[in-house]
């Protein structure tokens, strides 16, 4: 039980302890304080063969709070040799294994087809994002073949395994 100079603070996202005199927070998985973003390096890969590419922009930042990871990435690549479906690899944590978690995408120079939209989700039990061409007229999704060049800005939140 906390000593007389320690307060336990409850909120809608959990509880943490703070020393009233020094304002020291608990660290680790249950920390819900002001967490600065951490850099990571995402990679464009093909689902059948990862391949390699030349990047003019390849950056990512994330913050973790408990079992939730918020991230944003920016990727501009050319001369990619991957094969198969377009994916983003090397997210900072492995995603929870029970559901696909949708993320937001802005893109350029990626062929999704006339009248279609690019959609994406974090693949369960991996640290990868799958990208799809979505036809809003009939709500069907189709995987996208990896492009030799393109631009993606992806942001989202996902539950960690």
- Dist. CA 122–CA 156, nearest whole Å: 9
pLDDT at 108: 95
pLDDT at 34: 59
* H helix count then E strand count, the chain: 0, 12
As to burial, measured by CB atoms within 10 angstroms (0-12 exposed, 13-18 middle, 19+ buried), residue 114 is exposed
pLDDT at 138: 83
Residue 59 β-bridge partners: 74
One digit per residue, the tens of pLDDT, for the chain of length 161 reads: 344 444 444 434 444 444 444 444 444 444 445 567 999 999 999 999 999 999 999 999 999 988 999 999 999 999 999 999 999 999 999 999 988 899 999 999 999 999 999 999 999 999 999 999 998 888 788 999 999 999 999 999 999 99
- Enter the tokens of residue 83: 């094969």
Residue 10 β-bridge partners: 15
CA-wise closest residue to 94 among 158, 13, 11: 158
CB neighbours of 1 closer than 8 A, spacing ≥ 6?
A: none
């Amino acid at each position: 039980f906390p000593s007389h100079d320690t307060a336990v603070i409850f909120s809608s996202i959990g509880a943490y302890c703070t020393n009233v005199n020094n304002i020291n927070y608990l660290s680790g998985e249950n920390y819900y304080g002001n967490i600065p973003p951490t850099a990571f390096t995402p990679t464009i890969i093909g689902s059948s063969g990862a391949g390699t590419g030349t990047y003019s922009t390849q950056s990512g930042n994330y913050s973790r709070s408990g079992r939730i990871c918020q991230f944003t990435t920016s990727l501009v690549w050319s001369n990619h040799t991957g094969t198969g479906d377009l994916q983003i690899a090397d997210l900072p944590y492995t995603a929870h294994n029970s559901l696909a978690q949708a993320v937001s995408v802005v893109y350029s120079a990626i062929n999704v087809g006339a009248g279609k939209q690019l959609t994406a989700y974090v693949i369960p039990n991996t640290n990868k994002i799958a990208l799809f061409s979505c036809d809003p007229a009939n709500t069907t999704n189709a995987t996208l073949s990896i492009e030799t060049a393109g631009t993606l800005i992806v942001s989202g939140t996902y539950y960690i395994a």
